[in-house]
Amino acid sequence: MTIEYLEKKAAQIRVDALSAISRAGSGHSGSAMSCVEILVSLYYAEISGKAVAKFDSKKPQWDEQDYIILSKGQAVPTQYAILADKGFFDKNEMDYLRRANSILQGYPNMKVPGITVPIASHGCGLSIATGLAMSIKNERLPNKVFAILGDGELQEGQVWAAAMAAAHYKLDNLIAFVDNDNLQMDGPVRSVMDVMPIQDKFESFGWKVIHVWHGHDFDEILDALAKAFTTNRHPVCLWCHTVKGKGIEFAEGKPYYHDAPLSPEELAEVKRKLDPICASNLKMFGNE
């Protein structure tokens, strides 16, 4: 596994997810793009020759798997694109995203092979991850639990109730990413309801916080994960600075695209840029 391989995968996942959202005519294009590198790191990367997360597409209910919980469930087309690529289900299913009679619901649903917990609305993912991590610790097993939270989601009180419980029960098998793209439905997070200072908040709740300044840089994400894996007796928060709509030049940092699909013309423009990367090993993003 090389960084070039991960970047190529990220480009492919972007195209697959955006195409599905565009075909569905509804969905959260911007939100789905800001967490691509985080999810690709979890599903495809290795650290010291070992897969970051343990899973088996042939055994979606495997007891020994690690759990990847997309608490910002609106970004699930990205996770679906990865699961399809990994062989959890047929890629053709992506054509029916958000349509009646499809398994691919608008938010993560346990009927989808590879989706291990239900996420029906924002704010509950960290609590579910906490329960899973408590249960696993109780079973004295080494499975890890990864949760990916949005930054707007931190406005939900339940997130902090979960943060308190995770620290109280010393859940060092729990790693939560905060996908901090600074935008939510009504505009900048800081003007809707400021969630800063994220680091101080998590630290004061008893978490270890690792800052990922460039949340689209695989080297940085993997370095942070390596540090998180060696942390004992504390849950870890990976605070990742990301860009809403990353990879879609005209949508980057624009609140409108938080919950909008791309038009066929916009999608064609994105594909013109990303398709060559999917077909080659070009480096897509440098360190901004």
Partner 1 sequence: MNDLIQIGEKVDILKALPEGLLNLARRYRNLVVLHADFGMRMGLKNFSTAFPERCFNFGLSEENMVSAAVGFAVRGKIPFVVGYSNFAGKAWEQIRSSVCYPNLNIKFVAANVGISNGEDGVGYQATEDIGIMRVIPNMKVASPVDYNEAMSVLHKSYMEFGPVYVRLANCVSPLIFDDKHEFVFGKANVLKDGDGLCVFTHGVLASNVLEAAMILKDEGKSVMVVNMSSIKPIDEEMILSCSEKVGKFLVVEDNNLSGGLFSAVCEVLAEKNPASVRGIGLKDRFAESGGMSELHRKYGLDVMGLAGKMREFF
List residues near partner 1 by CB under 8 A: 67, 109-110, 116-121, 124, 127-136, 138-139, 145, 157-158, 161-162, 164-165, 168
The residue (of 174 and 210) whose beta carbon lies closer to partner 1 is: 174
Element holding 150 (H helix, E strand): strand 145-150
CB of 118 to partner 1, least distance (A): 4
The residue (of 158 and 199) whose beta carbon lies closer to partner 1 is: 158
CB of 148 to partner 1, least distance (A): 15
In order of 186, 209, 266, the CA distances from 225 in angstroms are: 32, 11, 34
Report residue 222 as tokens. Answer: 């993997």
Using DSSP, state whether 1 is helix, strand or coil.
coil
In order of 163, 167, 264, 268, the CA distances from 53 in angstroms are: 22, 22, 35, 33
The residue (of 1 and 110) whose beta carbon lies closer to partner 1 is: 110
CB of 124 to partner 1, least distance (A): 4
Helix ranges (H only) for 25-156 are 29-34, 36-44, 76-85, 125-138
DSSP per residue over 151-167, as a string? SGGGGSHHHHHHHHHHH
CB of 174 to partner 1, least distance (A): 10
The residue (of 69 and 243) whose beta carbon lies closer to partner 1 is: 69
Report residue 270 as tokens. Answer: 């994105």
CB of 209 to partner 1, least distance (A): 20
The residue (of 96 and 160) whose beta carbon lies closer to partner 1 is: 160
The residue (of 101 and 138) whose beta carbon lies closer to partner 1 is: 138
The residue (of 120 and 268) whose beta carbon lies closer to partner 1 is: 120
Who contacts 144 (Cβ-Cβ below 8 Å, separation ≥6)?
Answer: 53, 54, 66, 67, 173, 174, 175
The count of other CB atoms within 10 Å of the CB of residue 264 is 11
CB of 134 to partner 1, least distance (A): 7
CA distance 41 to 52: 7
CB of 162 to partner 1, least distance (A): 5
